[in-house]
């Protein structure tokens, strides 16, 4: 059986968690391949909203196995909180949650380093979620990191101490005013490690290979979005991992030729949380209305998300980089009631019209060029089939499909599991 891959095509928060949950019944294994608790994946069913940060979004289904892959960075403290939440709903995670021995661990000092780095940047800050993601991936590539598999060794605390000591000198080097109580943070960290150690650690690349040999189906769940990719995103305003398709290969040990479908998720408009360029951003009441109706607040930090029109230049770029085979359009319901909708089809880049993503999409270089389409009035949230869609929504869908050249196979019309229309 093949491995399918699901990832975000914009700046994150496209609705990945919701769709992974919807698709889980078709898969044996759901596997996260990168990122960490900077992610906030929201699932809604039976009137309850759940937010997952590190645990794959298949966890609420009875039979699926959920794997946290080697490319993920894990904060034991946040992981424990996620488990505590699952306990409230009697989810039996012990039997179906497996963690890669090669996944790296976020130390309390990684979080402090994140805060120190952001404070030192002043106005140029990334707008990080401050979960220690950047510093942990820096230690990974710098070959200093502490991994899940290390927790099985007798000397792991020594390794921990060496790394934490190094971090303390780095924090001092930043010379910024950040208050923290390390002994208190460590107490919480060591308690959480105990809980983490009660779970099953695996050699996940071997496990996933065996699963493929046994004909099991695997869905790889991306975090963040393609424009936050460390290589292909709006650098430096990005996260520290490869959020694009290649990240699934390195983050799980799955070979590129084993990946079959690539599901690309996008919002019917665009949002971004944190700093960095966003050509179609709206600063007027249209943007405010999207934010209000779309309830655009970060699932991890609660920060308001910036909103704007759909950017097809961005979408086309992300589809290309990822080899997307099917599109999924989320939050179309939020656009009901707009007389006209704008879609960005080109950029004016330093005085020239271009239709690709250039080196810099900063405001001083890029002005979006829009096409305008008719909006629709109807409330979509109770619709259960495409036949009920207003004509102008059908036209909007067709417009995007024609522009990108990839079919939209799922249209989401609300946050609930049930508000999902397959085409
Ligand atoms: P993720 O990070 O990609 O999993 O997305 P988030 O969970 O951070 O953000 C998506 C938000 O939109 C969540 O609050 C979802 O409950 C909500 N959502 C998902 N799909 C839809 C939809 O089709 N319509 C509306 N109105 N909300 C949606
Ligand atoms: P999900 O998986 C939206 C953004 C942050 C910041 C930048 C770097 O829920 O889509 P980091 O904490 O990685 O140092 O932050 O990336 N960011 C996200 N934005 N959704 C996410 O994840 C994000 N994860 C990180 O806001 O701009
Ligand atoms: Mg999110």
How many helical (H) and strand (E) elements, i.e. helices and strands, does the chain have? Answer: 11, 20
The whole-number pLDDT of residue 159 equals 97
Instruction: Tell me the average pLDDT across 99-117.
Output: 98
Q: How many CA atoms lie within 13 A of 194 on its CB side?
A: 5
pLDDT of 205 higher than 90: yes
Instruction: Tell me the average pLDDT across 126-145.
Output: 98
Token pair for 374: 């008719």
Instruction: Tell me the average pLDDT across 269-283.
Output: 97
Atom of ligand 1 nearest to the CA of 41: 4
Q: How many CA atoms lie within 13 A of 34 on its CB side?
A: 29
Please name which ligand lies nearest the alpha carbon of 48: 1
17 CB under 6 A from ligand 1? yes
Q: Give the tens place of pLDDT for each residue, 50-99.
A: 999 999 999 999 999 999 999 999 999 999 999 999 999 999 999 999 99
- Residues with a catalytic annotation lie at 13, 41
The whole-number pLDDT of residue 358 equals 95
41 CB under 6 A from ligand 1? yes
pLDDT of 1 higher than 90: no
H or E element: which one contains 263?
strand 259-267
Residue 2: which pLDDT band, with cuts at 50, 70 and 90?
confident
Burial of 121 (0-12, 13-18, 19+ CB in 10 A): middle
Residue 337: which pLDDT band, with cuts at 50, 70 and 90?
very high
d(CA 128, CA 317): 24
The whole-number pLDDT of residue 299 equals 86
Burial of 297 (0-12, 13-18, 19+ CB in 10 A): middle
Instruction: Tell me the average pLDDT across 21-49.
Output: 97
Residue 300: which pLDDT band, with cuts at 50, 70 and 90?
confident
222 CB under 6 A from ligand 2? no
Q: Give the tens place of pLDDT for each residue, 372-415.
A: 999 999 999 999 999 999 999 999 999 999 999 999 999 999 99
pLDDT of 242 higher than 80: yes
DSSP 143: T
Which residues have CB under 8 Å from 268's CB, separation 6+? 310, 329, 330, 331, 332, 334, 335, 396
Atom of ligand 2 nearest to the CA of 300: 9
Which residues have CB under 8 Å from 134's CB, separation 6+? 114, 117, 126, 128, 239, 240
The whole-number pLDDT of residue 247 equals 98
Q: Give the tens place of pLDDT for each residue, 146-190.
A: 999 999 999 999 999 999 999 999 999 999 999 999 999 999 999
Give per-residue burial for 198-228: e unless 16+ CB within 10 Å, then b. Answer: ebebbebbebbbebbeeeebbbbbbbbbbbb
The whole-number pLDDT of residue 74 equals 98
Q: Could you give the maximum distance between any two Cα atoms of the chain, in Å? A: 65
In whole angstroms, what separates CA 341 from the centre of its chain? 26
């Amino acid at each position: 059986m093949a491995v399918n891959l699901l990832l975000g095509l914009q700046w994150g928060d496209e609705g990945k968690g919701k769709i992974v949950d919807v698709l889980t019944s078709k898969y044996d294994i759901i596997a996260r391949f990168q990122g960490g608790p900077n992610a906030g994946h929201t699932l809604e069913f039976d009137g309850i909203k759940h937010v997952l940060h590190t645990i794959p979004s298949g966890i609420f289904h009875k039979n699926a196995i959920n794997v946290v892959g080697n490319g993920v960075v894990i904060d034991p403290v946040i992981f424990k909180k996620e488990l505590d939440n699952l306990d409230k709903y009697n989810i039996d995670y012990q039997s179906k949650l497996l963690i890669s021995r090669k996944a790296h661990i976020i130390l309390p000092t990684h979080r402090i380093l994140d805060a120190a780095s952001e404070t030192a940047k002043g106005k140029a800050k990334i707008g990080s979620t401050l979960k220690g993601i950047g510093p942990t991936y820096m230690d990974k590539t710098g070959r200093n990191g502490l991994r899940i598999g290390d927790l099985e060794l007798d000397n792991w605390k020594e390794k921990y101490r060496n790394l934490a000591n190094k971090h303390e000198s780095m924090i001092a080097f930043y010379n910024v005013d950040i208050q923290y109580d390390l002994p208190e943070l460590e107490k919480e960290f060591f308690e959480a490690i105990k809980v983490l150690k009660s779970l099953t650690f695996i050699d996940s690349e071997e496990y996933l290979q065996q699963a493929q040999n046994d004909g099991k189906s695997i869905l790889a769940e991306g975090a963040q979005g393609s424009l936050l990719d460390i290589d292909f995103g709006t650098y430096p305003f990005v996260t520290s991992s490869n959020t694009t398709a290649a990240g699934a290969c390195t983050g799980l040990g799955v070979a590129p030729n084993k990946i079959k479908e690539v599901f690309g998720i996008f919002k019917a408009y665009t949002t971004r949380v944190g700093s960095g360029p966003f050509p179609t951003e709206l600063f007027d009441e249209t943007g405010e209305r999207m934010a209000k109706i779309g309830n655009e607040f970060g699932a991890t930090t609660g920060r308001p998300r910036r909103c704007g029109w759909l950017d097809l230049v961005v979408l086309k770029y992300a589809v290309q980089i990822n080899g997307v085979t099917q599109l999924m359009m989320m939050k179309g319901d939020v656009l009901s009631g707009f007389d006209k909708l704008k879609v960005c089809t080109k950029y004016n880049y330093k005085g020239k019209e271009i239709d690709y993503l250039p080196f810099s999409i900063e405001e001083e270089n890029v002005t979006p060029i829009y096409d305008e389409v008719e909006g629709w009035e109807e409330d979509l949230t109770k619709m259960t089939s495409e036949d009920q869609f207003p004509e102008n929504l059908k036209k909007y869908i067709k417009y995007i499909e024609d522009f990108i050249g990839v079919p939209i196979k799922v249209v989401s019309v609300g946050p609930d599991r049930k508000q999902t229309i397959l085409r």
